[in-house]
Structure 1
Amino acid sequence: MDRLPVPCLALQQPGPDSVKTILFNIFEGQSIDCDIDGLTNNNSNFWVTPQGWILVRTSLSTFLLSPQNPEMKIQLPNLPEDIRRTCTCLLSSANPTLPGCIVLLVEPNTTGIRYCRVGEDGEWVRHEYDIGTQLLDPATNLHEKVPICPIAACRGKFYFNSESLADIGELEFSPMPVFGSLELAGEFEVVNRAKVFLVESKGELYMVSLVYGFSCDMIDSETRVYKMDFSEQQWRRADDLGGRVFLLSSGYFGASCSADQDRGLEEDCVYMFYPGDEACSKISNVKDGGVNFMEVPAARRALWVLPTDP
């Protein structure tokens, strides 16, 4: 089997009986003829991670898969069948073979997480968390519990946005989940119409804010990037990405990758996928503000399949 060209997109499209997934090379503009156990099999579910490894659940087993070497599998406890495809999956370490590496599944629009330690836990643990409430309906003063979104793994911890930009949430395991927050210094420009992603890149934590105009356009009008200064506990505007690229897709996470010319990636650019009947990937250059677009086949959702050596 040929080596899978990564990064690429796993496009999820409605099929006759289930969700159909096709692999697509955005740089060559064509589908990838590659049969990987768990990715193109409609009888299994999978969740990609920012670290490149893919969590796969088949009818027989659950494992971590390297897309560059599909024969390399790390066995995990079997996942329950009721896990949603739209969960966000992260690893606490880029190398899941390291002792104590956490595989974390964050349930969307709920206050539940599932996790296991690679090679240590015999089953997945589900934990219901409570990090406060937020106003849902001003007219009725109805509140709801705050869910984790967005989230990124950085320096052995998981960071997530809390209700206020005055702080950022922290999650670590010792060995049970422990939730806390990091109080931030300085002032931060709040944008009401923005989609926010957290991205880990070479041990640094970034926040990407996709700012939308007041029209009904589905595509953002401006891309802003901030870097966390842990010494000052403050977000600072970033003028570049250190020569790397950020890959984003609505609904789950942001990832960082090397801007290798062989991969066709432009350095210091943010790639954002927009689903739909006329899907596309918007490329925003952080250094010079330039914008380009790539056409992508119609898809209701897309996941970035990444290298495990980003």
Structure 2
Amino acid sequence: MKNSIKIFVFLFVLLTFSCNKNEETKNENKPIVERVKPSEIIYTFKKTLNWFKENNKNQKSLNIVLAVNRLDEANLKKSDSILVPTDSSGDIAYYMPFPFDVSALDNVKKIILFSYATQSFATYEYGVLTHVGPTSMGKEKDKTPTGLFFTNWKAEETTSTFNDEWELKWNFNIENKLGVGFHEYELPGYPASHSCLRLLEKDAKMLYKFADEWVLENDQQVKLKGTPVFVFGSYDFDAPKPWLALSDNPKVLNISEEQLQKAISPYLNTIIKEQEKRINYYSKK
């Protein structure tokens, strides 16, 4: 009887140690992101010219306002009025709709998410939000396809498949047959692309470095897929721009962790499977 108790205690301690060790290992992978929280988030409309004269040298405030209005700087200057937070002292993530942590992505090394409904994107590393920004996705006649994709080839500069006069900088393709990718291009404050995912230059450069290219075998067959890219949601083209409602409710665009988990859970096995392939491949090299 005493031996049985000793064996039970030993197994319990061993199991507890193993679980704690796995938890420590998992936590070691998670990036530590220090965030500056604004005192409050309230949005008001301002005359663009007046605001720009006072804030054009404040790059942090400018980046937040561009993101909130889904505009690049050139289109910002053309606009009559813009939505501005009364306190822009916080990190940009506080003004974008994505949750800071998504436990369903704890085992995913890195992933890029694009929200059609909010025209914004985010990157997560082991479930931690690491980057956010605005986007301009496909217009009504040329909608961006939704679902799970993987980055494949990239080019610092290429030409559009729709018009060879359009130069696409920091382009990363995600759907080879349809020619869909993310890249730097004009952000006019609404979905305007021919199915691609437009980005500000700084965000395009960041994602260009962040994501992995595919690995081809004999320059033809796909041996390894790149970084997972999940495009989800839909945009109501007949309604006012959804971010305009932030003036009435600063949380109106917020995407909850539960909503994100529900949307992405059907694809998690595929994401992990492709991730393991890359890990195994590079561990043998």
Shared fold per TM-score greater than 0.5:
no
Higher share of residues assigned helix:
2
| Alignment TM class, shorter chain as reference | under 0.3
* TM, length-normalised to structure 1: 0.25
Q: TM-score, normalised by structure 2?
A: 0.27
Which one has the largest radius of gyration? 2
